[in-house]
Structures are given as structure tokens and as C-alpha cells.
Amino acid sequence: MGLGKTMEMSKFSKIPHRSVFKYLELETISPCNRNCPTCLRESYPNKEKQIHKGRFPNTSTIGQGVKMTDELFYDLIEQSLQMGFTGTINLQHYNEPLLDDRLVDFAKYIKGKKQIVGPLLLCSNFDLLTEEIAKNMDGVFDIIQVALYMTREKQRKREMWIDSLFDKTKIVYTNGVHVPFHYNNVWGTHFDIIIKHSMNTCWSYNAHLYIAYDGTILNCCEDYAGNFGLGNVNEMSIDEIWNGEKYKKLVNDLSVSGGRWKYDYCSECPKTGQGANDVDGLIDYGFGLSEFVDVKLY
């Protein structure tokens, strides 16, 4: 196994809580079409928790699954604008976004908001991509990060086909790498990775807002099921949650070295934590940094 290069703590300084986030991630539909053994969808231990159950069964049928309501989606965008949001939006979390038959309509709505100057992102495995879908997406999304879970030989052929379909949207490939997640023992060095990064600050603590398909507020990309009890946008406004005392305390705690140890879930986090956090300069598109581990699953 080879571990990717991580960034040194000395390069990162504490940034105070922001009154408005710079990156918004919306999970508009619940399911995925794959069952990757490294994903939290598979390793999450509380199988009876409703937010987890709502993400299953896996499906390859577009339009199938629990959807964030249209009304909630549009309201979240409008609430964000009212707060002064101008940044980056990603329409994906622990789902496969191409399963949502409203995806392009949602994206066009966002692109119609001149206040939003940050890039519109998407992360997908592109298993469900067709020429028609690509035609509708091209130029609507600014950047699409594609994870092709197949052998490198097959990846090259599929990359050539995908590239032939997109002229305006930037396509970024991850080569189907897998990263460590909570509760996952695929890597023999998983515990070592947790210890290695245990004193790091959190790269998304002061700028990123994640909202699950059911309205649950998530703290970060590793927060699969609302482990911090931050609230739900069906019951509170985004402003009330983001600028609430509970969220501010979490931000302050995770902004200093050792802050992870104040939260059980964070103390077990295998992520580096410290990515390019200059989101004002768009250095961090929102994907952050992880230790990329070469795992032969296919």
C-alpha cells in the first residue's frame, strides 16, 4: 500500500467562525448504485438508524429512492442567498447524483443565480452516464469529479469516451482510488492513520455546510448520519443552525490542534483534516485532502 503525501500542520492557521459558509453540499437523493466495501454506506454500524435505512436499497434506476423535496431544495438555495452566500455548491454526498432525474434542472436553477460566483460541482461514478445525459450536463456543471471503479485499462477507454462527450465542463478523474472511512478495516494501517492525524485541525470546520437528503445537517464529508446533532433544516433555518451556539462551539473546538479529542466521532477520524482551506481564493474546491490508498478491489 502506498500513502499519499499529507500537508504539514505549520501551513494551517486558525480561521474564526464565518457568518456564512463558502461551500454548500446538498444530497438531493438518497441511494447509490454501488456497494463499495470502503464506503460508510457499507461500514456504518447502526443499520436501524433512519437516515441510513433511507439510503437503501441500492438501485440503478434513475428517479428511484428517497428524494429531498423540490420545495426544500429551492428554499435552501434561497436561504443561502439571503445569508450572503456566493460560493461553491456540490450536488452530492453519500449518493450517486445521476440517480436524481431533477439533477440538471436543479443545476440550471443554481447557475441562474448571479450572486453565486463559485463553481458548481458534482462527484459521480458515471456508471449511469449516457450521451443524452452528458449533453444535458455539459456546460451546466463547472467541474465534475469522476471515480471510475474498474481496472486501469478499462478506465482509460471510458475516460476517452467521457472526454468526447464534454466540451465545456471540466472533468477530473480520481482513477477510482479509495480512501479510509470510519468503521472500515480494509486497511491494516487504519488505526495508524487515525493516530497520525489525531492532532490535526478539521479542514471543513469553518466554511463547509453539508445537508443530507432528509434535511439533516452534517458536519463534514465523514459525517454520514448526523453524528453531532446539529439540527435539521425542516425544523430550523440554515442561519439558525450555522450561526447557532452549538455549531460555533464545534467550529472553535475543531479549529485548534487536539480539538478532535473532544468528540468521540472526531477522535476516530482517519482523514487528514487539513486541506487547502483558502476557500476565498477557491484553492479548495470543496473536495479537501485525504490519504489516498491503493487498494486492489477490481
Q: Show the cell assigned to 3.
A: 500513502
| Beta carbons of 90 and 248 less than 8 angstroms apart | no
pLDDT in tens, 204-223: 657 889 999 999 999 988 89
Q: Which residue reads 477530473 in cell numbers? A: 172
64 CB-near residues (< 8 Å, 6+ apart): 31, 99
| Beta carbons of 184 and 295 less than 8 angstroms apart | no
Checking 227-235 for CB contacts under 8 A at 24+ apart, the result is 227/265, 228/263, 228/265, 233/72, 233/76, 233/79, 234/72
Per-residue pLDDT at 204: 60
For the chain, residues with pLDDT lower than 50 are 1-11, 275-298
Order of all β-strands in the sheet with 170-173: 170-173, 143-146, 120-124, 88-90, 23-26, 208-211, 217-218
